Chains A and B, each alone.
Chain A
Amino acid sequence: MKYEAVLTTCPYCGCGCKYYVEVVNGQAKRVMPCKEDPVSEGKLCIKGWNAIDFVNSPDRLTSPLIRDGETFREATWEEAYSLITSKFKEIKDTSGPSAFGLLSSAKTTNEENYLMQKFARSVIVTNNVDHCARLCHASTVAGLAAAFGSGAMTNSIPEVEDADCILITGSNTTEQHPLIGTRIYRAKERGARIILVDPRSIQLASIADIHLRQRPGTDVAWLNGIMNVIINEGLADEMFIEQRTENYDEFLEEVMHYTPEHVEEITGIPRNDLIDAARMFANAESASIIYSMGITQHTTGVDNVKSCANLAMLTGNMGKASTGVNPLRGQNNVQGACDLGALPNVFPGYQAVTDPASREKFEKGWNMDESIPETPGLTVVELLNEAADGRIKCMYIMGENPMISDPDISHVREALDTLDFLVVQDIFLTETAEIADVVLPGASFLEKDGTFTGTDRRVQRVRKAIEPIGSSKPDWVIISELARSMGSDQFDYESPAAIQDEIASLTPLYGGISYQRLDERGYLQWPCPTPDHDGTTYLHKGEFKRGKGHFFAVPYRPPAELPDDKYPFTLTTGRILFHFHTGTMSRRSGPLNKEVPTGYVEIHPADAAKLGISDGQAVRVSTRRGTIDIPAYVTDRVPEETVFIPFHFKECAANLLTNPALDPIAKIPELKVCACSIEAIV
């Protein structure tokens, strides 16, 4: 009898809880929380407790598949590699490297993301590599980098509980980041003031001191309004503004237009509530802003993020413990996928592809003859648009499911159908894999070594607990073997530890991180430039990464699509506690699926009464892009004239409805607001 408790990191959300997986005779049996883990402290959410469930699903891909007419046939790895190699070479010869698009994955390890972008940039020789961060926090990366010089969560998860005031907006924290919810509850217990700004009455509303329910898509307006009050009441931190920031005057001029009265007209937030919230935030010794996709997934996503940055700087809540601007990243490793350069404009460590010195460093590091293109590549939504137009001919997608996750799915399907050649690498035959030419079976997080980077820049180990299922292989092995098959000699790695050593040598942000140090210390938070560096709990202490913090004047712009006579409701989308993203993992987990087996639309009782809709009844929801049939959940969680649909469920996919209109800078689609109509199905 062999028993081992293997310490690893959760594959679901960005909290980055570590826990033990108990393995008996080579079988993963149970999850046991780790009481010494600094994030989870021996507590988990329902997804963590059930994280090993999907691993043994009978649906796991166990062999490479090659398209054979309408179906697939099983193939050997050699066969699959040689087909992909010949197709990739043919398309590269005839259409050039810019006809390729590669999607990396926020679910896979840092090492695998590093290899995917290395494969794109050194084997295909294109910057057309991106991943789903585009759909969640591209606006964070762009907005915070512009304001502060670094696009990540400024402070750390454990610090949240010591804040005196926490402003939470666009984050349903107890459902999407339950173990950060833990810290908010603890802060409350300690006497911290909680300000919630969310159209919906989410669970945190029950402990909020103030709950502001704005109209969806009006975030710039209420943020400017709060700042207007703070400035007019003399509550701004003059010293901080003077010493550590720039461009205050331009910002001031803009903010002065946003009187509480004006803001009430735009947002629907009663002026006195706004004033109370402003005072509460500004008067706190340490105040922390927590946000997530409710801020980022808008055509004004970057503006929203910049406004959050303005508020933190205005009140001097930067560069100290328990303060800051804290975007909560959704996926377990979306932070790492960004850090490791699975983005079209940057190499690992946010080194710009437009910078000749960076290009030279990587060309040398990877021993390349060709030069890496000097312009940024295309983003996810652009890649799919170009595919539909026939300019992108070939895609290699690892661990992503744009057929559910991206806006306007009918368009995605059309784009992928137009491709000459599509390779999908995943652990399940996802909706996207179903239309691929070749499918490569990856191994799950339990079957490989690596690292994930949690939302608070916390790099932690993923440890192999069991052997890969069937003939599946870890993604780092697949990419390396494919690269070798393409003729590269730069992908000979003995283990992920060796990949991390290469990452450290080319990426100052991760320069001091090694497996040995992670084994000794449990985690390291970047920046960690050297092997004797302890890592960084909060950013911008003493000085911003970019020098001075930059105030932006941000005028309010309405959402791209507003309700009208034909589509009188505002549709907002999001996630729920019991499921994850496209449901690929969570819907194959018995306990999670049992809780919520299918989607629903939340609708206010008054609206339901008007339309003659009762709880549980099927309704038809339509937008300019599509129509779905879905059961109604009549609840006052949503305000009147606003409805909410979780996007996890393919049979009633919210993203058939959503608007692909993009933020002009971050190219993030407006998944949080569009106009829809609802009718009862009789």
Chain B
Amino acid sequence: MNDELRAVAAEILARDDIDGIVGLKEMHGTVRPCFFTDADQLPLMVVDSRYPVASVVRLLLEEGPDLRLAVVCRGCEERSLIELAKNHQIDIDSITVIGIACDSDTAKECNCSKPYPDSLMVGTALENWTRDTYDTYRQMSGEEKLAFWNEQLEKCNKCYGCRNACPVCFCKECELENPLWVKRGRLPPDFPIYHLIRAFHVAGKCIGCGECEKACPTGIPLMTLSHLLREDLEELFGYMAGRSLDEQNPVITKEEYE
């Protein structure tokens, strides 16, 4: 798959209307984000599920707003670009998506809702995979659920990693740092307000990539929270974040008021 991707990338990099490609490269035995501007770099380009490139795109565009980028995207990454566009963080028309499909292992690990992007260029779209539906959790009583989260959230290390790693968290002033809601400097942070603020603040934007859970040093099952909220929004409003540019977020958050 790497060869196929590199071939596609070489063609796109040769185009006049592209300044560079955001993708992943392998070096010193680890995979890391890279901005490919030269065909010589392409042999290092790899397909890897590991790094959310949308946040790299945002960083590059902050520094160079006129850059015309191509981005190697998985399903979730395309969804995150769509959400960033809907929230006026990036201009999606200046971005070319080089879509790649995920295999079933990856899809399973992420419990993904759609493991391929719309602009698929490399790999085959996986149509049938089994998703966890969180039945054990759903069967808990309200009291059990509260106890479950209490026990989980007591471990929180207040690293803000769940927010930092999230591709659709972009507020300049974060409400998690507002002492009106969350007392500063306390460990664990106040239950459950810290986590509720985060969950509600990403609701309607959350594309279910699971980066929050992967970043959590204390193993809190944040993906369960993300997926359940996403499913509720679909059930209640027929809405799914990241699906299309035209869908309106039914959850109004503070920014939209202002």
What is the interface of chain A, defined by CB distance below 8 A to chain B?
Answer: 1-3, 5, 7, 20, 22, 24-25, 29-30, 32-37, 40, 42-46, 48-49, 174-175, 178-179, 181-182, 185-186, 189, 203, 206-207, 519-522, 576-578, 591, 594-596
- Known: A34-B32, A522-B29. Is A203-B188 also a contact (CB below 8 A)? yes
Interchain CB contact under 8 A, B32 and A49 = no
The 6 closest A-B pairs by CB, nearest first: A3-B35, A596-B185, A43-B217, A5-B32, A595-B185, A36-B30
Closest chain A residue to B20, Cβ basis = A1
- A24 to B64: give the CA distance in the assembly, Å: 10
| Nearest-Cβ distance from residue A574 to partner chain B, whole angstroms | 13
- Which residue on B lies nearest to A519, using beta carbons? B28
How many A-B residue contacts, CB cutoff 8 Å? Answer: 123
A32-B29 Cα distance, complex, nearest whole Å:
17
**How distant is the Cα of A207 from the Cα of B220 in the complex, in angstroms?**
14
- Is B67 in contact with A1, judged by CB distance below 8 angstroms? yes
Least Cβ–Cβ distance between B173 and chain A, in angstroms:
12
Chain B's nearest CB lies how many Å from the CB of A493?
A: 23
**Contact assessment for A22 and B35 in the assembled complex, using a CB-CB cutoff below 8 Å:** no
Task: Jot down 19 A-B pairs with beta carbons below 8 A, ordered by A.
Answer: A1-B67, A3-B34, A3-B59, A32-B33, A33-B165, A36-B29, A43-B159, A44-B159, A175-B187, A182-B217, A182-B219, A185-B219, A189-B219, A203-B155, A203-B187, A203-B188, A519-B28, A594-B177, A595-B185
- CB-nearest residue of chain B to A178: B157
Cα–Cα, bound, A29→B51 (Å):
17
A33 touches B60 (CB 8 A): no
Closest B residue to A180 by beta carbon equals B217
A26 to chain B, nearest CB (A): 11
Known: A2-B35, A24-B60, A577-B157. 13 other contacts (CB 8 A): A5-B32, A22-B33, A33-B215, A34-B30, A35-B214, A36-B29, A36-B30, A36-B31, A44-B161, A46-B157, A46-B160, A175-B187, A522-B28
CB distance from B63 to the nearest CB of A (A): 5
Instruction: Check B218 for interface membership: any CB of A closer than 8 A.
Output: yes
Chain A at the B interface: SS class: mixed
Q: Which of B20-65 contact A (CB under 8 A)?
A: 20, 28-35, 37, 50-51, 55-56, 59-60, 63-64
> B35 near A577 (CB under 8 angstroms)?
no
Closest to B188 in A: A203
Chain A residues contacting B19 (CB-CB under 8 Å) are 1
- A7 & B30 in contact (Cβ 8 Å cutoff): yes
Q: What is the CB-to-nearest-CB distance from B29 to chain A, in angstroms, rounded to a whole number? A: 6
Number of B residues, CB within 8 Å of A: 40
**B218 & A181 in contact (Cβ 8 Å cutoff):** yes
Binding site for A on B (CB under 8 A): 19-20, 28-35, 37, 50-51, 55-56, 59-60, 63-64, 67, 154-155, 157-161, 164-165, 177, 184-185, 187-188, 214-219
Contacts of A20 in B (CB 8 A): 32-33
Report yes or no: A45 in contact with B29, Cβ–Cβ below 8 A.
no
Cα distance A207–B20 when bound, in Å? 49
Whether the pair B159, A49 counts as a contact (CB closer than 8 A) is: yes
Q: List, in ascending order, chain A residues with CB within 8 A of B219's CB.
A: 182, 185-186, 189
The complex places the Cα of A43 from the Cα of B214 at a distance, in Å, of 7
Chain A residue contacts of B37, Cβ below 8 A = 1
Pick the most buried of B20, B32, B35, B214: most chain A CB atoms within 10 A of its CB: B32
Instruction: For A206, give the chain B residue with the smallest CB separation.
Output: B154
- With a cutoff of 8 Å between Cβ atoms, the chain A residues found around residue B184 in the complex are 594-596
- B156 to nearest A CB, angstroms? 9
A578 and B32 contacting across the interface, CB-CB below 8 Å: no
Closest approach, in angstroms, between the C-beta of A327 and any C-beta of chain B? Answer: 21
Complex Cα spacing A2 to B184, Å:
37
Give the docked Cα–Cα distance between A22 and B155 (Å): 29
Do B155 and A185 touch across chains, with their CB atoms under 8 A apart? yes
Q: Min CB distance, A234 to chain B, in Å? A: 36
Q: Are A43 and B161 in contact (CB under 8 A)?
A: yes
Is A181 a contact partner of B157 (Cβ separation < 8 A)? Answer: yes
For the complex, what is the distance from the CA of A281 to the CA of B67, rounded to whole Å? 60
Residue numbers in B under 8 Å from A595 (CB-CB) = 158, 184-185
How far, in Å, is B45 (CB) from chain A's closest CB? 14
CA distance A33 to B213 in the complex (A): 13
Nearest-CB residue, chain B, relative to A33: B215
Q: In whole angstroms, what is the CA distance A42 to B162 when docked?
A: 12
Q: Is the CB of A1 within 8 A of B64?
A: yes
- A189, B194: Cα distance in complex, Å: 23
Complex Cα distance A240/B186, Å? 44
Shortest CB–CB separation between residue B65 and chain A, in angstroms? Answer: 11
* CA distance in complex: A182, B217 (Å): 5
Bound form: Cα–Cα A573–B55 in Å: 40
Contact A22 B165, CB 8 Å, known A5-B34, A46-B157, A522-B28: no
Contacts of A49 in B (CB 8 A): 159-161, 164
Tell me the minimal C-beta distance from B185 to chain A in angstroms: 4
Q: Which residue of B lies closest to A34 (CB)?
A: B30
Q: With a CB–CB cut-off of 8 A, which chain B residues contact A35? A: 31, 50-51, 214
| List of B residues within 8 angstroms of A22 by Cβ | 33, 56, 59
A577-B158 in contact given A29-B59, A182-B217, A189-B219 (Cβ < 8 Å): yes
For the complex formed, measure the closest distance between the CB of B17 and the CB atoms of chain A, giving whole angstroms.
16
B32 touches A7 (CB 8 A): yes
Residue of B nearest to A43 (CB): B217
How far, in angstroms, from A181 to B158 measured CA to CA in the complex?
A: 13
Q: A1-B20, A33-B215, A186-B219 are in contact. Are A7 and B157 (CB under 8 A)?
A: no
How close is A14's CB to chain B, nearest CB, in angstroms? Answer: 16
* Smallest beta-carbon distance B181→chain A, Å: 14
Question: B185 to A174, Cβ gap below 8 A?
Answer: no
A36 and B46 CA atoms in complex are apart in Å by 15
Contact A577 B28 (CB under 8 A): no
Bound form: Cα–Cα A519–B30 in Å: 10
CB-CB under 8 A from B50, the residues of chain A are: 35-36, 42
Docked pose: A600 CA to B14 CA in angstroms: 60
Is A174 within 8 A of B157, CB to CB? yes
Query: In the complex, what distance in Å separates the CA atom of A451 from the CA atom of B35?
Result: 27
**B217 to chain A: which residues have CB within 8 Å?**
40, 43-45, 178-179, 181-182
- For the complex, what is the distance from the CA of A522 to the CA of B188, rounded to whole Å? 33
Of chain B, the residue at the smallest CB distance from A600 is B185
Known contacts: A1-B63, A3-B56, A594-B177. The answer to whether A43 contacts B216 by CB under 8 A is yes
Which B residue's beta carbon lies closest to that of A37? B30
Q: Which residues on the B side are within 8 Å of A207 (C-beta)?
A: 155
Q: Is the CB of B31 within 8 A of A24?
A: no
Bound state CA distance, A207 and B150, in angstroms?
12
Residues from chain B with a CB closer than 8 A to the CB of A186 are 219
Distance, CA A218 to CA B157, complexed state (A): 29
Chain B residues contacting A2 (CB-CB under 8 Å) are: 35
CB <8 Å contact, B218 and A182: yes
For residue A158, give the distance in angstroms from its CB to the closest CB of chain B: 14
Nearest Cβ distance between residue A403 and chain B, in whole angstroms?
Answer: 24
Cα–Cα distance between A45 and B67 once the two chains are bound (Å):
33
* Set of chain B residues within 8 Å of A37, measured between Cβ atoms: 30
Residue of B nearest to A27 (CB): B63
Residue of A at shortest CB range from B35?
Answer: A3
User: B161 — which chain A residues lie within 8 A by C-beta?
Assistant: 33, 43-44, 49
A34: which B residues are within 8 A, CB to CB? 30, 32
Contacting residues, chain B, for A43 (C-beta < 8 A): 159, 161, 214-217
* Least CB distance, B223 to chain A, in whole angstroms: 14
Chain A residue at minimum C-beta to C-beta distance from B19: A1
- Closest Cβ of chain A: how far from B138's Cβ, in Å? 21
Name A521's closest neighbour in chain B (CB-CB): B29
List, in ascending order, chain A residues with CB within 8 A of B188's CB.
203
Residues of B close to A33: CB separation below 8 A:
161, 165, 215
Q: Is the CB of A3 within 8 A of B60?
A: yes
List of B residues within 8 angstroms of A181 by Cβ: 157, 217-218
